[in-house]
Amino acid sequence: GKSEGRNVYRFFEPGMDAMVRARQALETDLEAALPRNEFELEFQPIMNIAAGDIVGAEALMRWHSPTRGLVSPDNFIPAAEETGLIVQLGDWALRKACTAAAGWPHAMRIAVNVSAVQIKSGSFARSVISALAFSGVPAHRLELEITETVLMDESDTVLKTLSQLRDLGIRIALDDFGTGYSSLGYLRRFPVDKIKIDRSFIRDIDNRDSAAIVRTVIGLGAQLGITVTAEGVETEAQLDMLRKAGCIEAQGYLIGVPAKAAQINRLLRSGMAL
């Protein structure tokens, strides 16, 4: 009830105050960062395991703050979601990513992370279509990575937007697969094209249970006709296990770290894994 809420607030009051002020300062800096061109995209290659070649790359956002240094997206994306800046920032990333991909060989796909806030904004489909038109990249080369938090919102906007984009030929990937609490339910309700197994499962692949989960997800993907990508592949042993289990794609430091646009250009033109 109300009194309980008040007690909780009072209990945290001194620390909360400092946290709220730090968060507000972060949000103020973030608002200024876009017009100041402080954001950049890096691109991490994705490999087809059986063929051993690079099939595309994921765009990952970087914030080079003049006062804070390099800020991790895990730190600034939540703040950008809270202020709504993510809508503008996400549009920027989509355009930037598609523009970069326009210069890649035509078989290479570009994957872009999308926040739930963007999709709920109502203007998302229009932004995506405009980024494709602007860059000249065909829809089938674009992959949108969403997490369960997007699907948890079962509003009409989310469902309609995702199916509209999918009808255009854009692929939908379910990111961080296995970390939520009802991933399987979402697979049944939403038509996704790809599952990205969260890197925590790959990191612990030596563990019998993690290995069983990874094999099961790979089998599930095969049964459902969904591409499975393993995230966070760092060792040859992990890649070997994934190959034997029939995993289709791999991404991680072993294949390539996130790289600047110019570097990824060179890598993708060569079409070879590192």
Comparing CA positions, the residue from 137, 134, 130, 128 lying closest to residue 102 is 137
Instruction: For Ca ion, give the closer residue by CB, 122 or 145.
Output: 145
Helix-helix angle 208-224:236-245, to 10 degrees: 40
Span 208-237, contacts to Ca ion by CB under 5 A: 231
Q: Could you tell me if 42 and 62 are in contact, meaning their C-beta atoms sit under 8 angstroms apart? A: yes
Give min distance, CB of 15 to ligand C2E, in A. 26
- As a whole number of angstroms, the distance between CA 264 and CA 54 comes to 11
Which residue of 38, 157, 234, 246 would you call a contact of ligand C2E, by CB under 6 A? 234
- Give long-range contacts, CB 8 A cutoff, 24+ apart: 149-152: 149/116, 150/114, 150/115, 150/116, 150/119, 151/186, 151/189, 151/190, 152/116
Question: Any contact of residue 56 with ligand C2E (CB under 6 A)?
Answer: no
Count residues near ligand C2E (CB under 6 A): 22
Question: Any contact of residue 175 with Ca ion (CB under 5 A)?
Answer: yes
Question: Any contact of residue 113 with ligand C2E (CB under 6 A)?
Answer: yes
Give min distance, CB of 128 to Ca ion, in A. 16
Q: List the single partner that 234 binds among ligand C2E, Ca ion, none, CB under 5 to 8 Å by kind.
A: ligand C2E
Q: Could you tell me if 179 and 198 are in contact, meaning their C-beta atoms sit under 8 angstroms apart? A: yes
Pick the piece of the chain touching Ca ion (CB under 5 A) from 21-29, 144-152, 184-192, 262-270.
144-152
Sites of contact with ligand C2E (CB under 6 A): 44, 59-61, 72-74, 77, 93, 113-115, 145, 175-176, 199, 232-234, 252-253, 258
